[in-house]
Amino acid sequence: MICPDTDFLIDLYEMCLTSSDGPYTVMGEHICENLGLFGLSVWSQHPYVRGASSRIVFFQREQNVDLVIKDQVLAGRVLDEQTVLQGSHNGLCYWAGILCGTYARSALVVWSVEPFSRTCTAFLEKFSSRLTVLLDLIALMNPVGFNRVARELESTRFIQNQLMPPLNALGGKRFLSYRTLPVHELGGDYLDIISYRDGSVGLAVADAMGKGVPGAFVMLIARTIFRFIAKEKIPPHIALTALNNQFITEVSAVDTFVTQFFCIYDPTQQSLLYSNAGHNPPVIFSSQEGRVGVLSGRGIALGGKEGASYQSYATRFEAGDILVIFSDGLPDARNESEQQFGLQGIMDTVIRYKEYSADGICDGLTNRVMQHCKSQTDDISFLVLKGDQGTR
C-alpha cells in the first residue's frame, strides 16, 4: 500500500465533487489507484431501517466473488460493533473501519495484496476522517434527495416494527429479506411471511389501490383476511380464491381492489408453488442457467370479480436461485427524464448482486432505485428469497 501526500486528498475532493458520472462512481477507482489497493468499498447505513446498509462505493482490480461476500460480512460487523477490523482472507489483507458522518454512518473496507504496516494503518485511520467529511459534502450537494430518503425511511420504521413480519424463517436475512418504503407515513403495500409446520414458508406481497391512509386502510383489511385464510398451509390458488370472495364482501361499498402474489417455498423439495392475483410477475434468477426472467401466470386482481378463480403454478427453486417479489412502485420509479427504473433495472440489479445474501440484494435494490428516482410517487415494497446454498 502507498501512503500519498495531501495532494491526493485535494485531487480526490475535486474529482468527486465535480464528476459528471457521479461522485461514488469515480471514488473507488481513484482511491485504489493512488493507494495501491486491490479493492475498496464504502457501505452506508440508513439510520431508521433495520439492517439497510447499501454499498455506495465499490472497486476491485480483478473480479473476486469470494471477496464480494466477505466484504459485506466485514462491513456488517463494523457497523454493528463500531470497531476496526484487520486481518487476511484467501490471500488478501483487509482493513475495515467506521465512518461516523453527520448524515450517515458508514463502513470503509480496503483490500491489499500486502500486509498493512503500522504506517499504513495510521494513514487509513487519518484518511477515514477525511473521507467522512467528503461523504458529508456529497450528501449536502443533494439535500432534497437526502432528506427525502431519510424521511421515508423513518416513516418505514413504524410499518416494519409493528406490522411487518419477523425474519426468523429460513435462518434469517441470508436467505430471506425485504424492504418497504411508503410514499406517505403509511402505505398501501403489504408483505407477509408465514412459517408452516413442515418447514415450508408462505410469502406474499400485495399492493392496495390508493396511497397514504386510504391505501393503508384497504391494506389492513386485506392483510387481516389473508392471515386468517393462510395460517394453515393450503394451495396458493385456493387461498387467493377465498381471499377474493371475502374481500369483496368486506369492501362491497367501496370501489377498490388489491393485487397480490402468494407462493409457498419448500426448501427440502426445492420447489416453489405460486398463484398471482393481478400482481407484477416476480423476477426469478436461475443460478444453474445464469439467466434472469419472470414467473408466468397472472389472474384477476382481488376485488375485481366475485367468484373469480385462480390457478397455482409450480417451478423448481434450487440453491443460489433468486426470487424478487415487488409492488409496482419499484419498476415504476422515474428519474428526472421520466424514465422508469423498470423491469430491466430490477433484473440488472439482481445480476449485479447475485453473489450476495438476500439482505444484500435488498440493499442493492434500495440503493439503485434511490439513485434512479429523485422523487417517489408510489409505495415501494419488495421481498427477496434466495435458495439455500448449504455450507457455501
Query: What is the CATH classification number for the domain harbouring 93?
Result: 3.30.450.40
Domain of 329 in residue numbering reads as: 150-386
Q: State whether 156 and 95 are in the same domain.
A: no
Q: Answer yes or no: is pLDDT of 77 > 70.
A: yes
**For residue 164, what pLDDT is reported?**
62
Residue 313 is assigned to a structural domain of this protein? yes
The residue with greater pLDDT, 215 or 209, is 209
Q: Which tens digit of pLDDT belongs to each residue from 325-334? A: 999 889 988 8
**For residue 390, what pLDDT is reported?**
45
**For residue 68, what pLDDT is reported?**
79
Averaged pLDDT, 25-52? 80
E strand map for the chain: 39-45, 53-60, 85-89, 92-100, 105-112, 176-181, 189-195, 201-208, 258-266, 271-277, 283-286, 291-294, 313-316, 322-326, 380-386
* Coil, strand or helix at 235: coil
Cα 182 to Cα 191: distance, rounded to the nearest angstrom? 13
Averaged pLDDT, 175-201? 81
The rounded mean pLDDT for the chain is 83
Q: Answer yes or no: is pLDDT of 392 > 60.
A: no
**For residue 97, what pLDDT is reported?**
95
Grade residue 169 by pLDDT with cuts at 50, 70 and 90: low
Q: State whether 130 and 167 are in the same domain.
A: no
H/E stretch holding 30 reads: helix 23-35
Q: Answer with the one of 101, 123, 141 that is the final residue of a domain.
A: 141
**For residue 174, what pLDDT is reported?**
79
Residue 108 is assigned to a structural domain of this protein? yes
Averaged pLDDT, 213-237? 82
The residue with greater pLDDT, 384 or 171, is 384
Residue 104 is assigned to a structural domain of this protein? yes
Residue 1 is assigned to a structural domain of this protein? no
Q: Answer with the one of 122, 141, 160 that is the final residue of a domain.
A: 141
Residue with cell 449536502: 140
Q: State whether 292 and 314 are in the same domain.
A: yes
Averaged pLDDT, 338-344? 91
> Residues of the chain with pLDDT > 90: what percent?
41
Neighbours of 20 (CB within 10 A): 6
Q: State whether 363 and 236 are in the same domain.
A: yes
Q: State whether 332 and 196 are in the same domain.
A: yes
Q: Answer yes or no: is pLDDT of 391 > 60.
A: no
**For residue 172, what pLDDT is reported?**
61
Q: State the CATH number of the domain containing residue 232.
A: 3.60.40.10
**For residue 123, what pLDDT is reported?**
92
Q: Answer yes or no: is pLDDT of 59 > 60.
A: yes
The residue with greater pLDDT, 84 or 76, is 84
Cα 59 to Cα 24: distance, rounded to the nearest angstrom? 10
Q: Which tens digit of pLDDT belongs to each residue from 229-281? A: 998 999 999 999 999 998 888 776 566 789 999 999 999 999 999 999 999 99
Q: State whether 80 and 224 are in the same domain.
A: no
Residue 391 is assigned to a structural domain of this protein? no
> Residues of the chain with pLDDT > 70: what percent?
82
Enter the C-alpha cell of residue 49.
Answer: 431501517
Q: State whether 291 and 269 are in the same domain.
A: yes
Q: Answer yes or no: is pLDDT of 210 > 80.
A: no
Residue 101 is assigned to a structural domain of this protein? yes
Cα 236 to Cα 261: distance, rounded to the nearest angstrom? 9
Residue 381 is assigned to a structural domain of this protein? yes
Q: State whether 57 and 89 are in the same domain.
A: yes
Q: State whether 137 and 158 are in the same domain.
A: no
Q: Answer yes or no: is pLDDT of 312 > 80.
A: yes
| Span of 43-57, 83-97, 142-156, 269-283 with lowest mean pLDDT | 142-156
Averaged pLDDT, 337-346? 91
Give the total number of structural domains in the chain: 2
**For residue 166, what pLDDT is reported?**
61
Q: Answer yes or no: is pLDDT of 48 > 80.
A: no
Residue with cell 424521511: 151
Q: Answer yes or no: is pLDDT of 213 > 60.
A: no
Q: What is the DSSP-derived secondary structure letter of residue 334?
A: B
**For residue 145, what pLDDT is reported?**
47
**For residue 283, what pLDDT is reported?**
97
Q: State whether 72 and 198 are in the same domain.
A: no
Pick the closest to residue 34 from 131, 136, 137 (CA basis): 131
Alpha-carbon distances of 270 from 88, 199, 265, 325, rounded to whole Å: 35, 12, 7, 18
Q: State whether 124 and 169 are in the same domain.
A: no
Cα 251 to Cα 255: distance, rounded to the nearest angstrom? 8
Alpha-carbon distances of 241 from 208, 225, 309, 328, rounded to whole Å: 17, 12, 6, 22
Phi-psi sector, 88: left (phi>0), alpha (psi -120 to 50), beta: beta
Q: Answer with the one of 91, 124, 141 that is the final residue of a domain.
A: 141
**For residue 324, what pLDDT is reported?**
97
Q: State whether 222 and 353 are in the same domain.
A: yes
Cα 255 to Cα 337: distance, rounded to the nearest angstrom? 33
Neighbours of 157 (CB within 10 A): 13
Please give the full DSSP string across 259-291, using - where no structure is assigned: EEEEEEEETTTTEEEEEEESPPPPEEEETTTTE
Residue 161 is assigned to a structural domain of this protein? yes
